[in-house]
């Protein structure tokens, strides 16, 4: 038979001739200006890839997680090409980190608003011309020689640690690049973007996230977030560990303990500074509220902070917002009828606020502990605040305006905790900070709960949805941001995470995510965990921590 049956994600089926290219199917469906790429039987396909047998075809646009990542990579390459054309080929442009629905690029030249307008105009012109991103396979030796010839030592260093004999490059006009992942077929799909100038720093390339419905939201500059990563970037530059290639150099050039201890010392020093800041305001501050996205290391951070506060003469009392969950039979439901544990409505906010108000006035309260097996609160903790007592409150919603809303602001100190990644693969490929948290969570879930890696990967979208609604909107409420990322951690996580990811088979819905994370870990040399201190935030995930 010369024909085959393609089954689409919605269950519909259609007959096509064998060997038809993916792009031909997309064009026939009238989606060639929207579909970024696809997967056939759990293998990524691009427009030029032929399909030779019956199977399941999934289409990815900008509103899907995989499509959005490919869109970002294509837009990043397009931006770099256009920026160099306008600013000059001698300009150094480095991808740095994500911020508010965009990617920040550090630029070594002063940029004017006129420059920004020209770059944006040129990008739109190239989008309208549907210029192809051409995939080319070449030898590793030839690729390294090419990048050396154009002075891209960041690419040379990345490829040096890749021991494959061949490598895939992409050509755009007469420029070649090395991308971790895939690029779109051509520029026509890259319709949605905007540029924001950060004076004296660089440019933010903005595009819709999967939560924006294809729309570009208004830019909000998170000053604390930006400055925090900027501070660590400067530290990374001084130590020459701002890319994966440089991290690998450090692993083979120094003892593992030196790299680990440097990272830990800088992080501990910052946490001690925060403790000192709180101590100086001990007459006012009675509540330290700690929040951040999943797998940020909130538990270890709050306990280490408590240790430092004790050395300063304060008596920290830990309180978890999770202990104030509504009884399970009272938990609100999502639109599809599932318990919505991520929502603030799942917390007994009225009881929590009432008890905290009483404690502040010097009254005794009997606080609950939530029994997660029985699904109900058990009132078994007698609390009363003394002169030196300070409450350390940790939870997903701790920075919400509804928490302690009747207590004066001067009585509260708010901390936002997250791993803010200042390490990148090279100047054109970034490491997604959500991937660091996902790897942490997968390792911890498997170790402490016996969850399969597939189960953790499958639940991640719900976790991320909750963070978008209930965590990220409140980060600007924080008095300080504490960065829990460690420069060496990806090399240690590799040892624990890689075997788990290989357990995800090619017929698993999470297979593509597993392969993507494996590819990231492939770039990093492994680092044994023996020298990781027991007090390290990383121990919260890999085990053998002091607080376990």
**Whole-angstrom Cα distance, residue 3 to residue 500?**
39
Q: Helix 433-444 crosses helix 511-522 at what angle (to 10 degrees)?
A: 110
Give the residue among 342, 350, 346, 306 at the shortest CA–CA distance from 472.
Answer: 342
Task: Reduce the DSSP state of residue 73 to 3 states and report it.
Answer: helix
CA dihedral 156, 157, 163, 169 (to 10 degrees): -40
By residue count, the chain amounts to 548
End-to-end Cα distance, the chain: 62
**Whole-angstrom Cα distance, residue 152 to residue 245?**
13
Count the Cβ atoms, other than its own, within 10 Å of residue 378.
11
pTM for this structure? Answer: 0.94
**Whole-angstrom Cα distance, residue 189 to residue 132?**
11
**Whole-angstrom Cα distance, residue 313 to residue 324?**
29
Q: What is the DSSP string of 267-285?
A: HHHHHHHHHHHHHTTTTT-
Looking at residue 1, its pLDDT comes to 60
**Whole-angstrom Cα distance, residue 257 to residue 322?**
36
Contact call for residues 466 and 396 (beta carbons, < 8 A): yes
User: In order of start, what are the domains of the chain with their CATH numbers?
Assistant: 3-60 (3.10.20.30), 66-222 (3.30.980.10), 225-542 (3.40.50.300)
Q: Which residue has the tokens 């009238």?
A: 30
DSSP letter assigned to residue 325: B
Positive/negative CA dihedral, 515, 516, 518, 519: positive
Instruction: List the chain pLDDT tens, one digit each, 548 residues.
Output: 689 999 999 999 999 999 999 999 999 999 988 999 999 999 999 999 999 999 999 999 999 999 999 999 999 999 999 999 999 999 999 999 888 789 999 999 999 999 999 999 999 999 999 999 999 999 999 999 999 999 999 999 999 999 899 999 999 999 999 999 999 999 999 999 999 999 889 999 999 999 888 889 888 888 888 888 888 888 888 878 899 999 999 999 877 788 899 999 999 999 999 999 999 999 999 999 999 999 999 999 999 999 999 999 999 999 999 999 999 999 998 888 888 888 899 999 999 999 999 999 999 999 999 998 899 999 999 999 999 999 999 999 999 999 999 999 999 999 999 999 989 999 999 999 999 999 999 999 999 999 999 999 999 998 998 899 999 999 989 999 999 999 999 999 999 999 999 999 999 999 999 999 999 999 999 999 999 999 999 999 999 999 98
């Amino acid at each position: 038979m010369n024909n085959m049956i393609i089954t689409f994600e919605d269950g519909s089926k259609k007959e096509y001739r064998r060997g038809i290219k993916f792009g031909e199917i997309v064009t026939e469906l009238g989606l060639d200006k929207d579909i970024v790429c696809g997967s056939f039987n759990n293998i990524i396909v691009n427009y030029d890839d032929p399909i030779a047998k019956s199977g399941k075809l999934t289409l990815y646009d900008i509103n899907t997680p995989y499509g959005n990542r490919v869109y970002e990579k294509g837009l990043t390459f397009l931006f770099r090409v256009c920026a160099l054309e306008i600013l000059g080929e001698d300009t150094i442009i480095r991808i740095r980190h994500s911020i508010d629905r965009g990617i920040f690029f550090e630029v070594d030249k002063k940029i004017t608003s006129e420059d920004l307008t020209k770059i944006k105009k040129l990008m739109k012109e190239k989008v309208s011309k549907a210029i192809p991103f051409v995939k080319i396979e070449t030898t590793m030796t030839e690729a390294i020689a090419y990048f050396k010839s154009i002075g891209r030592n960041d690419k040379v260093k990345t490829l040096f640690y890749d021991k494959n004999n061949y490598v895939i490059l992409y050509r755009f006009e007469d420029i070649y690049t090395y991308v971790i992942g895939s690029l779109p077929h051509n520029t026509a799909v890259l319709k949605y973007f905007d540029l924001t100038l950060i004076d004296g720093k660089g440019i933010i390339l903005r595009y819709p996230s999967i939560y924006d419905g294809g729309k570009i939201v208004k830019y909000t500059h998170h000053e604390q977030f930006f400055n925090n990563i900027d501070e660590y970037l400067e530290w990374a530059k001084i130590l020459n560990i701002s890319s994966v290639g440089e991290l690998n150099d450090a692993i083979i050039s120094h003892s593992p303990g030196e790299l680990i201890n440097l990272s830990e010392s800088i992080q501990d020093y910052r946490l001690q500074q925060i403790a000192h800041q709180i101590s100086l305001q001990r007459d006012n501050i009675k509540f330290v509220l700690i929040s951040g996205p999943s797998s940020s290391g909130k538990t270890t951070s709050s306990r280490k902070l408590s240790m430092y506060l004790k050395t300063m003469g304060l008596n920290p009392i830990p309180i978890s917002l999770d202990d104030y969950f509504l009884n399970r039979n009272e938990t609100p439901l999502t639109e599809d009828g599932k318990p919505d544990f991520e929502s603030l409505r799942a917390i007994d906010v009225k009881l929590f606020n009432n008890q905290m108000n009483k404690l502040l006035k010097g009254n005794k309260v009997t606080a609950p502990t939530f029994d997660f097996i029985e699904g109900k609160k058990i009132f078994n903790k007698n609390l009363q605040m003394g002169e030196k007592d300070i409450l350390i409150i940790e939870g997903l919603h701790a920075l919400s305006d509804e928490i302690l809303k009747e207590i004066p602001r001067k009585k509260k100190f708010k901390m936002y905790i997250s791993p803010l990644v200042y390490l990148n693969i090279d100047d054109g490929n970034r490491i997604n900070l959500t991937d660091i948290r996902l790897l942490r969570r997968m390792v911890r879930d498997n170790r402490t709960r016996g969850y399969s890696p597939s189960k953790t990967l499958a639940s991640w979208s719900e976790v991320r949805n909750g963070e978008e609604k209930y965590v990220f909107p409140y980060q600007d409420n924080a008095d300080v941001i504490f960065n829990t990322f460690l420069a060496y951690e990806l090399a240690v996580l590799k040892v624990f995470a890689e075997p788990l990811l290989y357990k995800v088979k090619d017929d698993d819905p999470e297979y593509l995510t597993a392969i993507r994370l494996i590819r990231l870990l492939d770039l990093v040399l492994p680092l044994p965990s023996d020298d990781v201190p027991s007090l390290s935030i990383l121990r919260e995930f890999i085990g053998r921590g002091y607080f376990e």
